[in-house]
Amino acid sequence: MKLLPFLLILPALTVLLFVTVYPIVSVLYYSLHSYNIITGEFRFTGLQEYLDLLQDPVFQISVRNTLIFSLAATFLQTFLGLSIAVIINQEIRGKRYLVPLIVLPNMFSAVIVSSMWKLMLEYDTGLVNHILRALGFQPLPWLTSIDLALLSIVIIDTWQWTPICFLILYAGLQSIPKELYEAALVDGAPPYRTFLHITLPLLKPYITLVLLLRSIDTFRLFDKVYVLTGGGPAHATETISLYIFKTGLVFWDIGKASAASFLMLILILAVSAFYIKKVMFE
Amino acid sequence: MPTRREFLKIAGVGLGSLLVGVGAGYYLGSLGSSPTTVTTAPTTPKPPETYSLSILGRDAEHHDINTAVIDFFTRENTNFKIEYSPLSYASLYDKMVLALQQGSAAYDLIYMDDPWLPQFGERGWLTDLEALAKETGVQLDLGDFPGVLIDVGRSPYKTGKIVALPQMGNVQIFAYRKDVFDKLGLPEPATWTDVLNACEKIKASGLVEYPVAFRGVKGNPVATAFQPILYAFGGKILSDDLKKSALDSKAVEALEFLLQLKKYAPPGVENFNTPDVRDRLVGGRIAMSTETWPGWIKDADNPALSKVPGLLAYTTTPGERTKPSPLLGVWYWGIPAASQNKAAALRFILYSISARMQKIMAILKGLPPVRISVGEDKELAGLRRWIPIQVKSLNVAVPRPRTPLWPKIEDIFGSYVNQVLAGVIKPGDAVSAMSAEIDKVLSS
What number is the average pLDDT over the span B55-82?
Answer: 95
Alpha carbon distance A46, A259 (integer Å): 11
Taking CB atoms and an 8 Å cutoff, what residues of chain B touch A144?
267-271, 422
Question: Per residue in B137-162, pLDDT tens?
Answer: 998 989 999 999 999 999 999 999 99
Out of A141, A235, A251, name the one closest to residue B407 (CB): A251
Question: Is residue B384 exposed (0-12), middle (13-18) or buried (19+ Cβ within 10 Å)?
Answer: buried
Of A155-169, A266-280, B99-113, B319-333, the poorest mean pLDDT is in: A266-280
Alpha carbon distance A226, B119 (integer Å): 25
Q: Place B317 in a pLDDT band, splitting at 50, 70 and 90.
A: very high
- Cβ contact (<8 Å) for A234 and B422? yes
Please check whether residue B401 is in contact with residue B237, taking contact to mean a CB–CB distance below 8 angstroms: yes
Please check whether residue B177 is in contact with residue B213, taking contact to mean a CB–CB distance below 8 angstroms: no
- Pick B61 or A259 by higher pLDDT: A259
3-state helix, strand, coil in chain A (%, to 5): 75, 5, 25
Question: Per residue in A31-71, pLDDT tens?
Answer: 999 998 888 889 999 999 999 999 999 999 999 999 999 99
- Cβ contact (<8 Å) for B407 and A123? no
Q: Place B90 in a pLDDT band, splitting at 50, 70 and 90.
A: confident
Q: Place A281 in a pLDDT band, splitting at 50, 70 and 90.
A: low
Percent share of chain B, pLDDT over 90: 80
User: Which run of H or of E encompasses B162?
Assistant: strand B161-162
Question: Per residue in B217-236, pLDDT tens?
Answer: 988 899 999 999 999 999 99
Cα of A279 vs its chain's centroid, Å = 18
Homologous superfamily (CATH) for A57-281: MetI-like (1.10.3720.10)
Question: Per residue in B396-429, pLDDT tens?
Answer: 999 999 998 898 999 999 999 999 999 989 999 9
Q: Chain B: give the shortest CA distance to residue A62, in Å.
A: 14
User: Which run of H or of E encompasses A34?
Assistant: strand A33-35
Question: Per residue in A85-102, pLDDT tens?
Answer: 999 998 888 888 888 999
pLDDT of the residue at B41: 45
Domains of chain B in start order, with CATH, are 51-170+330-388 (3.40.190.10), 173-327+405-443 (3.40.190.10)
- Asked if residue B33 has pLDDT above 80, the reply is no
pLDDT of the residue at B5: 56
Q: What is the mean pLDDT of chain B?
A: 90
pLDDT of the residue at A134: 95
What number is the average pLDDT over the span B314-341?
Answer: 96
Write the DSSP assignment of B326-362 as a string of letters.
PBB--EEEE-BTT-S-HHHHHHHHHHHTSHHHHHHHH
The residues, any chain, with a CB within 8 Å of residue B106's CB and separated by 6 or more, are B54, B99
- Cβ contact (<8 Å) for B123 and A124? no
pLDDT of the residue at B6: 55
Alpha carbon distance B372, B165 (integer Å): 15
- Cβ contact (<8 Å) for B267 and A124? yes
Q: Chain B: give the shortest CA distance to residue A232, in Å.
A: 6
Three-class DSSP category at B244: coil
Residues of A with CB under 8 A from a CB of B: 37-40, 58, 122-124, 141, 143-144, 146, 149, 229-236, 246, 249-253
Taking CB atoms and an 8 Å cutoff, what residues of chain A touch B123?
38, 40
- Cβ contact (<8 Å) for B422 and A232? yes
- Cβ contact (<8 Å) for A250 and B411? yes
The residues, any chain, with a CB within 8 Å of residue B383's CB and separated by 6 or more, are B362, B363
Search chain A and give the residue with CA nearest B409: A251
Please check whether residue B116 is in contact with residue B336, taking contact to mean a CB–CB distance below 8 angstroms: no
Q: Place B237 in a pLDDT band, splitting at 50, 70 and 90.
A: very high
Q: Please determine, for the modelled complex, whether the ipTM score is greater than 0.90.
A: no
pLDDT of the residue at B398: 94
